[in-house]
Amino acid sequence: MLYEMKLLENEFDNIMYKNKVIEVRINDAKRKHIQKGDKIVFYKLPDMRQSIIVNVEQVIKFNSFQEVYRSFPVSYFGYNNSSINNLVENIYKIYTKEEEKNNGVIAIKFNVERILLNTKG
């Protein structure tokens, strides 16, 4: 199955430069069916002209963002010099605690298949 997701510039760049190997998302209806072997196309915001295709290696479900970030080295998320508290604080700028409580969280471990630059527009 092929999924499409949008990423902020910094997150996209972290994947492009192979600094990030896990994407963290709310386990909502859009992502509940992602599984090993699927592909994800990540589009870089704001203009979505660049994309990265990744192969899903593993999907792990968690109850909270805190739990995810404590389960892996912070470098897996593209941040070598950040604390777990900073990662959690930043993710709450995107998702609410209510969304986290109602849906749970998934960690999508992946490897990059292909990087496409200037693909739209």
Q: Domain-by-domain residue ranges, the chain?
A: 2-116
pLDDT digits over 34-50, tens only? Answer: 999 999 999 999 999 99
Amino acid (one-letter) located at 58: Q
pLDDT surpassing 90 at residue 80: no
Model confidence pTM above 0.85: yes
Average pLDDT over the chain reads 94
Q: Position 63: which residue type?
A: N
Closest CA to 29 of 92, 103, 101: 103
Span 13-40, average pLDDT: 96
Q: How is domain 2-116 classified at the CATH fold level?
A: 2.30.130
Residue 47, both tokens: 């203009």
Residue 46's identity, in one-letter code, is P
- Residue whose pair of structure tokens reads 């969280």 in the numeric block: 105
How sure is the predictor about 4, in pLDDT bands with cuts at 50, 70 and 90?
Answer: very high
